[in-house]
Structure 1
Amino acid sequence: MKVFVLDNYDSFTYNLVHYLNGEGAEVIVNRNNEVDIESVHSCDKIVLSPGPGLPSDSNSLMDVIANFVGVKPILGVCLGLQAIGVHYGMELLNLSEVHHGVEHTIIKTGRHYLFQGIPVQFSAGMYHSWYLQHQSNSILDTIAVDEAGRIMALAHPEIDVCGVQFHPESIMTNQGRTIIHNWISKT
């Protein structure tokens, strides 16, 4: 299994790479301003890493989604999830209080392979200032929320595109390795 990781200049990117390597994946990492399209084409799956700022300010992030959604399985983490939501017309809102290095309870709201074998509630590490607003007309399914009802995971019902707002690679996310295992194992 070969995985392309789009690095959005986040300090957690190589923690994700470590988890992917631990699952036996060969990983190619490109920064979001240095994307080699041939490298993306050569991979089986794509991870959109966390990062600072907004999806629209993240160089080739939105282009990678536009060019590969429905072509290759995509997992978005934090900023990556937000970018997937924006791609599908969702709106980002600024949190009134920044959630950096904060642990929250995640509550599964739907069935999805990403959460197979994971309890209905689990702890996760948060590092974000923005969140996606619920929209009744969104094609994306909300598959997890936090205690306040904010979207913590989304999935497309027909193609393999999903994402999490929390950081599975954080020490605070007690089911993080299982989430990565479930994603990498899905064929």
Structure 2
Amino acid sequence: MKALIGLEDGTVMTARSFTGPGEAVGEIVFNTSMSGYQEVLTDPSYTGQLVTMTYPLIGNYGVNNEDMESAGVHPRAFLIREYQDWPSNYRATGNLADFLKQYGVLGVEGLDTRMLTRKIRTTGAMKALITTTDMDPASVVRRARNWAGLVGRDMVERVACAASYRWEGEGPVTGSGFPQGPGRFKVIAYDFGIKYNQLRLLTRKGCRVLVVPATTSAEEVLALRPDGVFLSNGPGDPAGVRGVVGNVGKLLGKVPIFGICLGHQMLGLAYGGTTYKLKFGHRGGNQPVKDLLTGKVEITSQNHGFCVDPKSLPSSVEVTHINLNDGSLEGMRHREWPAFSVQYHPEYAPGPHDAEYLFDRFIQLMEQAS
């Protein structure tokens, strides 16, 4: 089924839908991972986006229940060069097309993803519309331009949990108290669009994790007497998220804090800093980051379109990691309070495991505070 892709700069591309009729509007971005498409699709940080995979063959190993990073699929559309309908993998329980159809997400193939990626790198992430029903190129471009975009919008409210839940074993369990079990540390995890592997790793490191809604007050959190607070990843513009920064600010200095991705940006805003939109963002499992504290280089998994401005941070905050591609801020820590964060994804899923040590650093902070 023919599909049209219209970009706000006037570019129009043709493709084929492999999921049937549909239409999607959003911010078009690219991901450079060679595998891990199911984890990409189930990462809530992609809410409101149209994701292009730079690797040309997608779908060849199918999908399964174990590689879910949330309870659903979050991009509005998935763009690939060539779709493989017949997966070959012992773990596969289904194919990608049926998986996308299950969640109402449009999938298209047969486009020049290399050209599209180069255009996004040159022009920047753009508004785009993908449709199988509107075949008028001028209309498709106009409708793409008319989309509101992500800047200034609260996308977290679309993906964060509405009620607290416990993470037990390998999955969520409804409840408002910490899980029972052998874990030494009680951790409150703020859900801004949390990935399951963050919860899996915290549990494996000896934490009993209670996940709470994004707007949970600092007073409610402190009343539970946690050993640490974890700030998760999430979608969109951090400056557009309501009811979070003030609560994070009230927790500083009172309990150890570890932030990832949007959680890192929320910490930056709570410190008094500012954020800005990157030209085309960092998305993929092969992004080089330098740890300024050790001099070592990590290959990291990333997915973000906004960044903390290091020049806006107070002298009490130290930059700990930088991106080696563009020099942007990738990590920071407070010089006096037990709080640190990174812009990238040390929980991987998908991607390399180089940065898993940061979860151990969080454990060490809680040990020192106990």
TM-score (norm 1): 0.86
Range 52-61 or range 77-86, more displaced? 52-61
In structure 1, stretches of 5+ residues that fail to align are 112-118
Q: 1:35 to 1:88 in 2, by over 3 A?
A: closer
Q: Deviations over 1:56-113 (max 9, x none)?
A: 43343213212210000111100111111111222211111132335211101136xx
Q: Return the match for 2:339 from 141, 161, 168.
A: 161
> Deviating runs (4+, > 6 A) in structure 1?
none
Taking a change above 3 Å as real, the CA distance of residues 161 and 52 of structure 1, as seen in their structure-2 partners, is: same
How far apart, in 2, do the equivalents of 1:7 and 1:166 lie?
A: 17
2:300 aligned to which of 99, 124, 131 = 124
Write the letter of the residue equivalent to 2:223: H
Give the direction of change, closer, same or farther, for the CA distance of 1:173–1:35 in structure 2 (3 Å limit). farther
Q: Do the aligned partners of 1:122 and 1:174 also contact (CA within 8 Å) in 2?
A: no
**8 Å Cα contact 2:259/2:342 also seen in 1:** yes
C-alpha distance 34-158 of structure 1, shift in aligned 2 (>3 A): closer
Q: Please tell me whether the aligned partners of residues 110 and 142 of structure 1 are also in contact (alpha carbons under 8 angstroms).
A: no
Match of 2:364 in 1: 185
Alpha-carbon deviations, 1:7-40, whole Å to 9, x = none?
Answer: 0024x2x211110000110001012145684344
Match of 2:212 among 6, 23, 30: 30
Determine the C-alpha separation between the residues in 1 that align with 2:362 and 2:320.
Answer: 14
Give the length in aligned residue pairs: 178
- SS of structure 1 residue aligned to 2:310: coil
Is residue 134 from structure 1 mapped to residue 317 from structure 2 by the alignment?
A: no
Code of the residue aligned with 1:126 in structure 2: it is: Q
For the pair 1:174 / 2:357, whether they are aligned, the reply is no
Show CA shifts across 1:92-135 (max 9, x none). Answer: 11111132335211101136xxxxxxx71111111000011221
Match of 2:320 in 1: 143
Contact 1:44 / 1:72 at 8 angstroms: preserved in 2? yes
- Of 9, 17, 41, which aligns to 2:223? 41
Q: In structure 1, what is the Cα distance between the partners aligned to 2:240 and 2:312?
A: 26
Alpha-carbon RMSD across the aligned residues, in angstroms, is 2.0
**Residue in structure 2 matched with residue 115 of structure 1 by the alignment:** none
Task: For structure 2, list consecutive stretches of 5 or more residues without a partner in the other structure.
Answer: 1-184
CA distance in 1, matches of 2:239, 2:253: 21
Higher relative contact order (CA 8 A, sep 6+): 1
What is aligned with 1:7? 191
Contact kept, 8 Å, 2:273 with 2:312, in 1: the verdict is: no
Structure-2 residue corresponding to 1:90: 273
Whether the 8 Å CA contact 1:5–1:30 is kept in 2: the answer is yes
Q: Distance in 1 between the 2:352 and 2:266 partners?
A: 21
- The percentage of counterpart residues that share the same residue type is 24
Distance in 1 between residues matched to 2:208 and 2:280, nearest whole Å: 38
Alignment-derived partner of residue 202 in structure 2:
20
TM (normalized to structure 2)?
0.45
